[in-house]
């Protein structure tokens, strides 16, 4: 099965068959009734192992699936796989595609229907290429995440957070859930830095980020927009947004941060604004910022609501 019967005097044909047999490519030929008529060593190892027949395409596929060989069938249903494959196996004269094997390798397959109805299949191992592709994709994803993340707190950074704000503003009119933004600012943060050093200030920022994450909903966007300022984007109505902020407030000072033997109590002020139909980033941020300044002016450690008239 793994070689043709040939005239020993036909040196060129003999060399060709030997080359195909030893080739790292997977070469197979099926006749018009889909019986395997030739398979080189690579194809045999991929699909057949110690198989003794029958050598139809369907039977080989079933054998491979039972014995941990052949192509990966994600849903594990070999009969459904065969139904899909046989329906399109001869639909075009030539096609190329990639496929992954159970053993983790990837092959690029050139599939050609010959004039007599036989099928020639030649597969090249592209595993190294796929692994490089995967590494490049992972590196790109890691770089993208790093470019969107605040290094200290692990939250989205300013650019990414404002991009999220633009996105939710663009879609908020299509939902009835509402949208609010809240600017959260740690009170007297400069005093913490000046008195205890930037390492203590960083510890407070990390502690605040963790406190917020523990008390907001999974679907709420939270980011650090710079210094001691954070932006919260809950897709809720105003009263619900205020409750979320107060839940954060209840949890934040309750556990005074201890850092290098120091106790670092801290509070935060918040300005919150609800999105209006014609709001853009600038208008809603302006209302939230003005509400934050009011909270600071009135003694800090409180939440103030931005007035629609101030937009």
Where do the H-state alpha helices sit in 69-177? 78-88, 127-148, 158-172
Residue 228 appears among annotated catalytic residues? yes
Name the active-site residue from 79, 228, 229, 235.
228
Do the beta carbons of residue 288 and residue 273 sit within 8 Å?
Answer: yes
| Cα–Cα distance for residue pair 135/106, rounded to 1 Å | 15
Q: Which of 247, 248, 242 is nearest to 211 (CA)?
A: 248
244, with CB counted inside 10 A (0-12, 13-18, 19+), is buried
Q: DSSP states of 235-270 as a string? A: -S-HHHHHHHHHHHHHHTTTS-EEETTEEE---EEE
10, with CB counted inside 10 A (0-12, 13-18, 19+), is exposed
| Cα–Cα distance for residue pair 135/36, rounded to 1 Å | 37
| Cα–Cα distance for residue pair 137/65, rounded to 1 Å | 30
- Omega prior to 147 cis, within 30 of 0: no
Residue 281 neighbours by CB distance under 10 Å: 13
Do the beta carbons of residue 268 and residue 193 sit within 8 Å?
Answer: no
CA distances from 238 to 70, 220, 233, 271, 282 (A): 58, 14, 11, 12, 19
- Active site residues per annotation: 228
């Amino acid at each position: 099965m793994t070689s043709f019967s040939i005239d020993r005097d036909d040196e060129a044909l003999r060399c060709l068959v030997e080359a195909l047999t030893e080739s790292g490519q997977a070469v197979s030929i099926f006749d018009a009734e889909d019986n395997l008529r030739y398979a080189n060593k690579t194809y045999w190892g991929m699909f057949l192992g110690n198989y003794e027949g029958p050598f139809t395409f369907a039977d080989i596929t079933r054998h491979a699936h039972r014995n941990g060989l052949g192509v990966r069938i994600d849903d594990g249903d070999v009969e459904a796989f065969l139904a899909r494959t046989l329906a399109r196996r001869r639909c075009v004269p030539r096609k190329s595609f990639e496929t992954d094997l159970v053993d983790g390798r990837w092959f690029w397959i050139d599939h050609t229907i010959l004039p007599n109805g036989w099928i020639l299949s030649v597969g090249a191992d592209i595993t190294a290429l796929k692994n490089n592709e995967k590494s490049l994709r992972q590196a790109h994803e890691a770089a993208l995440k790093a470019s969107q993340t605040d290094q200290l707190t692990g939250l989205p950074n300013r650019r990414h957070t404002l991009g999220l704000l633009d996105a939710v503003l663009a879609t908020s009119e299509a939902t009835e859930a509402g949208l609010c933004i809240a600017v959260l600012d740690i009170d007297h943060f400069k005093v913490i830095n000046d008195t205890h050093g930037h390492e203590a200030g960083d510890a407070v920022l990390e502690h605040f980020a963790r406190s917020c994450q523990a008390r907001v909903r999974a679907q709420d966007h939270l980011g650090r927009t710079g210094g001691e300022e954070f932006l919260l984007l809950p897709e809720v109505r105003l009263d619900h947004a205020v409750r979320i902020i107060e839940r954060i407030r209840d949890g934040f000072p309750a556990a005074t941060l201890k850092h290098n033997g120091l106790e670092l109590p801290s509070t935060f002020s918040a300005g919150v604004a609800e999105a209006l139909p014609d709001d853009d980033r600038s208008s809603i941020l302006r209302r939230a910022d003005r509400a934050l300044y009011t909270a600071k002016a009135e003694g800090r450690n409180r939440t103030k609501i931005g007035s629609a008239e101030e937009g």
